[in-house]
Amino acid sequence: MQPIRQDLAGVLRIWLADRADSERVFGSLPRVLARTLRKDLDAARAAWIAAASTKDEREAREKSQFLCYVDDDGRIADFHSLRHTYISRIVAGGASVRTAQELARHSDPRLTIGRYAHAQLHSLTSALDALPNCHPLAAEPAQVGATGTDDSHPRSAWRSAQEAKRRQALRMGATKKRSGRAAPTRSTLALTCCPLRT
């Protein structure tokens, strides 16, 4: 059994409406599928270019690599590349390694993740965006925007922020001493932020 999405099942249900239960889903496919896929890509690209509404749009589409069998980087749009895309999207969707391995029908998860799952740039940036913000100036756009080309330098702004935190900690320590609680230690305060120094 191979699980599929409900929308694909709906398309296949129409395709299989007049077939016997024992009949193969794709029993009548041509022997040379790669050649068929290439012809289909060429036909789809020609139709897409012909559908351009202006001359400029048509020229832009002709220069594009959309629906090309081979792109400028040497990547080929064949059935095996569809498998790479399928597995990469499953992994990018948050599936566990075990789930991706089962859907890929691989015996070894290293093959699934190491060979077939490709990280796209948007996946990498999304993973970075999910990290917590630990820069002391992140909440102060005016200071963060300093590039060193005007009066405020990022390092001096960072030092000012650190000095303000130190003064606040001293005030808190004095208040806590009066109330009988211990003042926060420097090591405790250092754990609240981890800026990278250049």
Task: Say what the pLDDT of residue 145 is.
Answer: 53
Please tell me whether residue 70 adopts helix, strand or coil conformation. strand
Task: Kindly state whether residues 73 and 147 are assigned to the same domain.
Answer: no
Model confidence pLDDT, tens digit, residues 38-84: 999 999 999 999 999 999 999 999 999 999 999 898 888 888 888 89
Q: What is the pLDDT of residue 67?
A: 93
CA gap 120, 89 in Å, rounded: 10
Q: Which amino acid is at 63?
A: K
Structure tokens at 31: 């022997």
Q: How many domains does the chain have?
A: 2
Task: Looking at the structure, tell me whether residues 162 and 93 fall in a common domain.
Answer: no
Rg of the chain (C-alpha set): 29
| 3-state SS, residue 121 | helix
- Predicted local distance difference test score (pLDDT) of residue 132: 84
User: Is 195 a member of any domain?
Assistant: no
1 inside domain: no
Query: Which pLDDT score is estimated for 24?
Result: 81
Which stretches in the chain have pLDDT values below 50? 150, 183-198
